[in-house]
Structure 1
Amino acid sequence: MTEDSPVDDDLLTIGAFAARSRLSPKALRLYDRLGLLAPAQVDEASGYRYYRAGQADRARLVALLRQLDMPLATIADVLDADGDTAAERLAAYWADVEARVAGQRTLAAYLRGRLSGRSSEMDENYVIETVDVPAQVVITEKRHTLADELPAWIGASLGRLEAAARECGGVTGAPFVAYHAEVSMESDGPAESCVPVADEAAARAWAERSGRAWQTAVRVEPARRLAYTRITKAQVAHPQILAAFEAVERWVAAQGLAYDGPCREVYFADWDAAGAQDPVCDVAFPVR
């Protein structure tokens, strides 16, 4: 028996099925290995694969989903669901694609400005000021994280810390996130969420109880002078926020100042209540 000879009239050889489904035999073999499209029958002696004509619809659906650059694992999730759930999973995937493309579009515009030498012109959009911040006791949560996970972690960690602050005499200042190393899609920091509290002894007791679960700690943040620029909720999104950090960096260099600690984002407003154009955050560098 050859692979061109089906075992009965209801089955198609892989070559015939490939032509009908508009997929290559190589792709069909891959989809079989991944469990996306199993043959109707496999000859035990020869290993030849045979398909039923009715499988062509699923095969074409796999091919169409691949044209959306959908990962094979996601295709499996879509195909294994019923009609409404499958459509919802496709919609969720496409929403993620559109969000990623929107971010990439903004990043491309930002990079065009840098590459064309217009970065200094963009600095005119940012007002740089300085402020002296007194020493303060802070409870903290530290994590190594990449840029795509950072926003969710910031919200969750600051929420946990602000809840814990009730055990530590209450919140006494604006929460902030300090970056001890770069956070990007290639570098994972770490970043450190910090909430100022009133009672150092209670804070140290809290840290002792919770440190293992969330990498929490308590420390005294020394008095610092911050060079900062204030940005809106919309500007906090990556990569818009990069322009704010770089504007402050260039101002610090122009003033001949030295850095005196990790850069930070200081969140002084109610994030959930703020609109896109409301000021919510100071992008700041400790300086001396």
Structure 2
Amino acid sequence: MSEDLLPIGRFARLCRLSVKQLRHYDDLGLLSPAWTDPSSGYRYYRSAQARDALMIGLLRSMDVPLPVVARVLSGDERNELKAARDRIEADIARRRRGLRLLDRVLAEGLPEHEVSVVREPARRVVAAREAATPATIPDATAACVSRLLPRMAPGVALIGLFPLDMEEEFDVRVTVEAADGDELLPGGPFASAVHVGPYEEIPLTVHGVLAWFGDHGHTPAGPVREVYLNDPATTPPEHLMTQVQIRVEDAP
């Protein structure tokens, strides 16, 4: 056995990791010991491995997923770290939106919404689609809108479509009505309420509409529709108007 090998306990202290963590990273193939005693199974590490071990500990302290850590160690450091940073930034933005919603609820209580049932016609539309997670809905929606801008016409509203049941990953769609559209947006009866205020607060109105379903014993059907009634480029956030619609599945 080489004299520059450190037993796992000493190496763990050097790298500010636990022995249990080092064993786990070895099992994953993320950081293997330089030598394992075949008779005792005891692990030994070289001092030069400390840099990788410290990088693993640092990235894990920032909740960077282990598969990303592995790719960083394999050499694609800049791209992977930038992607990890973007994910953390998106999570911070999502949490800030959540804090603003919570502040509003604390100040005003749960908002009451006037909900009415409207019958929407079927519409032929052009749609843009983007993969999203709950944290990236705003960015995915914005990407869809940018692709539809060339199809916009005066007086025609964009309609965002979002799943009723949020999963870890899903598609966000934004549509615009067009005579030559290649998709048909179904019509039918919808519970509808108008949201006034920033887009990030629309979930409050969505919950208000869903509460109406519970109060009246109806069954909601997705996707949730958001009809954007004015232009965010020229309208202050507090004056933005969005019609929230959820189809009433069991309406007569």
1:266 Cα deviation from its structure 2 partner: 0.6
Residue 95 in 1 paired to residue 95 in 2?
no
Cα distance 1:226–1:40, how it changes in 2: closer, same or farther (>3 A)? closer
Cα distance 1:284–1:77, how it changes in 2: closer, same or farther (>3 A)? same
Residue 177 in 1 paired to residue 163 in 2?
no
Cα distance 1:10–1:275, how it changes in 2: closer, same or farther (>3 A)? farther
Q: What's 1:3 paired with?
A: none
CA distance in 2, matches of 1:82, 1:226: 49
Residue of structure 1 aligned with 2:19, choices 16, 20, 25: 25
User: For 1:245-285, what per-residue CA distance to the aligned partner results, in whole angstroms no more than 9, with x for missing partners?
Assistant: 3445678999x9x9998652111334456554451523346
Cα distance 1:284–1:148, how it changes in 2: closer, same or farther (>3 A)? same
Q: Is the 8 A contact 2:122 2:184 kept in 1?
A: no
Residue 265 in 1 paired to residue 251 in 2?
no
Residue 66 in 1 paired to residue 60 in 2?
yes
Cα distance 1:277–1:35, how it changes in 2: closer, same or farther (>3 A)? farther
1:108 Cα deviation from its structure 2 partner: 5.0
Q: What's 2:3 paired with?
A: 9
CA distance in 2, matches of 1:77, 1:187: 22
Residue 228 in 1 paired to residue 190 in 2?
no
Amino acid of the structure 2 residue aligned with 1:37: L
Cα RMSD, aligned residues only: 4.8
Tell me the TM-score normalised to structure 2 length: 0.66
SS state at 1:59 partner: helix
1:191 Cα deviation from its structure 2 partner: 7.0
Tell me which protein shows more strand as a share of its residues: 2
Structure 1: give runs of 5+ residues left out of the alignment.
Answer: 1-6, 208-216
Cα distance 1:16–1:286, how it changes in 2: closer, same or farther (>3 A)? closer
CA distance in 1, matches of 2:53, 2:98: 32
CA distance in 1, matches of 2:161, 2:60: 41
CA distance in 2, matches of 1:90, 1:191: 22
Residue of structure 1 aligned with 2:202, choices 241, 263, 277: 241
- Identify the range of structure 1 (243-252 vs 263-272) with the bigger mean alpha-carbon deviation: 243-252
SS state at 2:9 partner: helix
CA distance in 2, matches of 1:264, 1:145: 16
CA distance in 1, matches of 2:76, 2:24: 24
Q: How many residues align?
A: 246
SS state at 2:53 partner: helix
Cα distance 1:134–1:173, how it changes in 2: closer, same or farther (>3 A)? farther
Q: Is the 8 A contact 1:17 1:53 kept in 2?
A: yes
Tell me the TM-score normalised to structure 1 length: 0.60
Q: Is the 8 A contact 2:68 2:80 kept in 1?
A: no
Residue 138 in 1 paired to residue 121 in 2?
no
CA distance in 2, matches of 1:85, 1:191: 26
Superposed counterparts of 1:43-62, under 5 Å:
43=37, 47-62=41-56
1:76 Cα deviation from its structure 2 partner: 3.1
Q: Is the 8 A contact 1:65 1:75 kept in 2?
A: yes
Greater CA radius of gyration, 1 or 2?
1
CA distance in 2, matches of 1:28, 1:142: 46
CA distance in 2, matches of 1:266, 1:99: 24
Cα distance 1:267–1:91, how it changes in 2: closer, same or farther (>3 A)? same
Amino acid of the structure 2 residue aligned with 1:182: L
Residue of structure 1 aligned with 2:177, choices 191, 196, 216: 196
Identity of aligned residues (%): 26
Amino acid of the structure 2 residue aligned with 1:8: S
Amino acid of the structure 2 residue aligned with 1:72: L
Q: What's 1:279 paired with?
A: 240
- Identify the range of structure 1 (9-18 vs 32-41) with the bigger mean alpha-carbon deviation: 32-41
Cα distance 1:185–1:47, how it changes in 2: closer, same or farther (>3 A)? same
SS state at 2:68 partner: helix
- Identify the range of structure 1 (258-267 vs 94-103) with the bigger mean alpha-carbon deviation: 258-267
